Amino acid sequence: MKEYSDLQRARNIFKPILPNVLNNAINNITPIIRNEVINTNLNIKKIFPNTYGKPNIHFKNGVNCSIIKKAIKVAVIFSGGQAPGGHNVVAGIFDGLKRANKNNVLIGYLGGASGILHNQYKSIEQKNLSNYRNTGGFNLIYSGRTKIETIEQLSLMKKNFASCNIDALIIIGGDDSNTNAAIIAEYFKKQNSTTCIIGVPKTIDGDLQNKYIEIPFGFDTATKIYSELVGNICIDVCSSRKYWHFIRLMGRSASHITLEVGLQTHPNIILIGEEILAKKMTLSNIVDNIINIIIKRSNLNKNFGIVLVPEGLIEFIPEIRELIANLNDIIDNHVKIIGQLQSIEEKEKFIYSKLSAESYNLIKSLPNNIASQFILDRDPHGNIQVSSIETEKLLITMIEQKLNELSSIGKYHGSFNAISHFFGYEGRCGMPSNFDANYAYALGYNASILVLNGITGYLSSVRHLTRDPALWECGGIPLTNMMTIEKRNGVDKPVIQKTLVNIHANPFLEFFNNKDKWILNEDYISPGPIQYFGSKNITNVITQTLKLKHKK
């Protein structure tokens, strides 16, 4: 970026608050073993014999005689989609390393893991880093989605690290990227290498959370950006009083973003995929429920409203999950035949002929453009690209059809004018909130202390996030402690499991206890844009999700 707004210049001089334990001299930060139950999955132990079974670590004040004295060279990569705060992670790593030894070196591989394989990197210095502090995006060193998993890739990685004298790699990424970090750490241990591998939890989707990770960085900022947009629409709908807005929000695998935005803005309808799965609702059930609400509001002369739809809603509907599984099996088992068919119509006819009766009836009930997306839009692995299915438009089409039928027999007398939206990329590169600026910086600084202590196969952990940042607890969690076995493309693989919305926990219950009130009333909240300066009760507010998770 060559030009900067006044706000960007002001954010550039913002100083993140370091947790007290990290604010000490580096050699006064001591890693302490915390005796917690480790992962007891024996399959994980077999896959990771060299890194399995390590204890959790937390830092405390004290003289640390074992910390690395010689200068070291550390590499960092961004992996996966962008999340606000990424540059502050890099800034935290840089500052931690330089505070320990001014001769420590930080480089960034360009474009994620592919940069490692192609040996493309840049030196990160105070001069080129200074303009990126507290800014959004990953544009300092870019990101990528390459995973280093094969023996050939791992061997090349080791070779390139040796040529550059790399002592440690810090991977900033989500669940898949940190699973990859565990695989890389295990490989280097098996090779008797001293190269340290550390992960940092990142994703706006919020699905990388568990008892060790309260929230990944980026979620706070992204949900505040989406909430501002939804809040604006709430005010607009109250002003015009004539439109139903269907808003799809990012979050393919879990509904955390939709739930958080709902808690911040109080729309009339919030579809939570995990609730729909638990209740085993069909697509028709969902549509009928929305129609009942539309009619109730219409009877109050309210032909308007707001509906939030999670990006991954489709995969939570049991009958559609069965349809997707059925389609995947057919396409996997008949790749050659389908590939030889010339037209889309021929391919559809062949695939439809192989479907179960239930799946056939379901896909034939869908609008043609949506049905085609199930068959034609596939990712490089051959799977349906669920996130590209315009679920909000599917719901609108089905609702319009049923309302027209009800209107024709005199059971609906209102008007239904729908507008669809998808808020996704708008939130990924926003300027980080004060929370994310502080949190990401602490995660990076904390990661630098882990590698300075020669620790490998761990995730940088900063906890107790509802406290003042100075009181946050820091340390590391073994990556294998968070892993399980899942079937991916028909093969059992170790993964850090995505965490879905818990429908028995406080955040969901807060929504559940208020949803009837929000359905019929305009209890809308417009939170406005992120505030960076001013009263702390405005600038330092945290997400409802975190508040409610810690509610006693």
Catalytic residues: 205
Distance CA 187, CA 179 (A): 13
Strands 29-34 and 56-61: antiparallel
CA distances to 306, 396, 404, 430, 523 from 242, rounded to whole Å, are 11, 15, 17, 31, 17
d(CA 195, CA 184): 10
Tokens of 244: 């139903």
Torsion angle, alpha carbons of 490, 492, 497, 502, to 10: 60
Q: What angle, 0 to 180 degrees and rounded to 10, lies between the N-to-C axes of helices 506-520 and 283-299? A: 40
Contact, 432 vs 88, CB < 8 A? yes
- Helix (H) or strand (E) holding 474, with range, is strand 473-478
Give the type of residue at 496: I
For the chain, report the end-to-end CA distance as a whole number of angstroms. Answer: 45
**Rounded Cα–Cα distance for residues 262 and 440 (Å):** 25
> Is there a contact between 482 and 210 (Cβ–Cβ < 8 Å)?
yes
Query: Which residue bears the tokens 């909130």?
Result: 433
Beta bridge partners of 460: 476
Pairing of strands 168-173, 196-201: parallel
In which residue are the tokens 């028909």 written?
490
Alpha-carbon distance of 39 to 149, in angstroms, equals 22
Task: For the chain, count helices (H), then strands (E).
Answer: 22, 16
Packed helices 434-452 and 219-240: angle between N→C axes, nearest 10 degrees:
170
CA gyration radius, the chain: 25
Give the list of residues 6+ apart from residue 221 with CB closer than 8 angstroms, or none: 83, 84, 85, 136, 204, 427, 430, 431, 432, 433, 435, 436, 530
Residue 97's DSSP bridge partners are none
- Three-state SS for 301? coil
For 431, the token pair is: 């300027």
- Please give the helix or strand (H or E) that residue 244 lies within, else none: strand 244-249
Structure tokens at 286: 């969902």
Residue 290 carries which side chain, given as an amino acid letter?
Answer: I
Which residue is associated with the tokens 């896909």?
363
Q: Are strands 305-310 and 244-249 parallel, antiparallel or unpaired?
A: parallel
Structure tokens at 387: 């996130």
DSSP string, 231-271: HHHHHHHHHH---EEEEEES-SS--HHHHHHHHHH--SEE-
